[in-house]
Amino acid sequence: MKYGGKLQRRPAGKFAPCRYPNLGCPKGTPEKPLALNERNAAAVMFWRRCRATGRFPDDPIVAWVAGLIQSVLDSEEQEYRDSIRTLVTFLAGGGNGRR
């Protein structure tokens, strides 16, 4: 943690916020990170540039990684659509027994 622009030592016996169940951290913990590492983030950025221009290099590794990234995005999109469908059904009265 920084205080006055300088890193401060954590007092003995105190843990980082990611170690407390009630606080957590959007990045996860060092053992179970929830964010991409630099290498994977670079791969996603490369994929985005290729997708934006419609030009992917003719390379089997690029094709393999692009397939992985696309499958994750497709899965997330399907989960999002399912959530919206559930919400709409509930709000339309299908989730509470009323019409």
**What does the alpha-carbon distance between residue 7 and residue 10 come to, in Å, rounded to a whole number?**
9
Q: Are residues 24 and 51 in the same domain?
A: no
Neighbours of 43 (CB within 10 A): 17
**What does the alpha-carbon distance between residue 30 and residue 89 come to, in Å, rounded to a whole number?**
40
Residue-wise pLDDT for 26-79, tens only, equals 777 778 887 888 898 999 999 999 999 999 999 999 999 999 999 999 998 999
Q: What's the domain range around 6?
A: 1-35
Q: Is the alpha carbon torsion for 65, 67, 70, 72 positive or negative? A: negative
Which pLDDT belongs to residue 1? 63
* Predicted TM-score (pTM) of this structure: 0.55
Q: Are residues 13 and 60 in the same domain?
A: no
Neighbours of 7 (CB within 10 A): 8
Total domains present in the chain: 2
pLDDT at 81 over 80: yes
Q: Are residues 18 and 47 in the same domain?
A: no
